[in-house]
């Protein structure tokens, strides 16, 4: 099942990571370091190819264990690597998870993150039968907040000291999707 998953809207295609993605992942993280490093632990000075290889190597096992469903975001037409997204931090008893995304800097502002967020949230609700998907975004990260808003996630409020990245504690804005959000959108 893992290798066969494809989520697309004709604009972006989400698929599980493959070993051959390692160079594109590494390149995209390096070129986007200034935008990613304040908010994502993996994006740091010294990020190297071995870290990309290890992360991709861990993806299938994490998927099998049900602890993370990570996808490469690619251009649906060309297959070009655009970024990554995933569902993680599962509370299986309550059927809840966190949704995260990042897009390489040269592709921000084109709707890639919004389209990917919608596809991934629908996958979580429809396929994984989640009852709640949260997006926890650092207050200074306005770009990611705009993505959540454009995707139609509901803003629930602000959480003090909700995210720790390296030595910085951020207050966060919390957004969510629940199953009813999609039935209302499809009815329109």
- What pLDDT is stored for residue 188 in this prediction? 46
Q: What percent of the chain has pLDDT over 70?
A: 96
Q: What percent of the chain has pLDDT over 90?
A: 92
Which domains occur in the chain, in start order? 2-187 (3.40.630.30)
More confident residue, 3 or 88: 88
At 106, is the pLDDT very low, low, confident or very high (cuts 50, 70, 90)? very high
At 95, is the pLDDT very low, low, confident or very high (cuts 50, 70, 90)? very high
- What pLDDT is stored for residue 186 in this prediction? 54
Q: Which residues of 20-54 are buried (b: 16+ CB within 10 A; e: fewer)?
A: ebbebbbebbeebbebbbebbeebeeebeeebbbe
């Amino acid at each position: 099942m893992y290798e066969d998953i494809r989520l697309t809207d004709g604009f972006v295609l989400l698929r599980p990571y493959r070993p051959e993605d390692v160079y594109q992942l590494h390149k995209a993280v390096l070129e986007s370091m200034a935008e990613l490093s304040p908010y994502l632990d993996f994006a740091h000075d010294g990020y190297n190819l071995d870290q990309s290889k290890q992360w991709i190597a861990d993806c299938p096992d994490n998927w099998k264990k049900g602890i993370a469903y990570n996808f490469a975001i690619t251009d649906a037409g060309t297959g070009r690597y655009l970024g990554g997204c995933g569902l993680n931090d599962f509370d299986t008893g309550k059927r809840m998870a966190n949704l995260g995304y990042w897009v390489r800097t040269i592709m921000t502002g084109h709707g890639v993150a919004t389209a990917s967020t919608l596809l991934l949230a629908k996958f979580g609700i429809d396929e994984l039968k989640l009852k709640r998907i949260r997006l926890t975004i650092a207050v200074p990260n306005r770009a990611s907040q705009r993505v959540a808003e454009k995707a139609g996630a509901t803003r629930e409020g602000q959480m003090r000291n909700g995210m720790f990245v390296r030595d910085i504690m951020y207050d966060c804005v919390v957004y969510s999707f629940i199953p009813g959000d999609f039935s209302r959108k499809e009815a329109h």
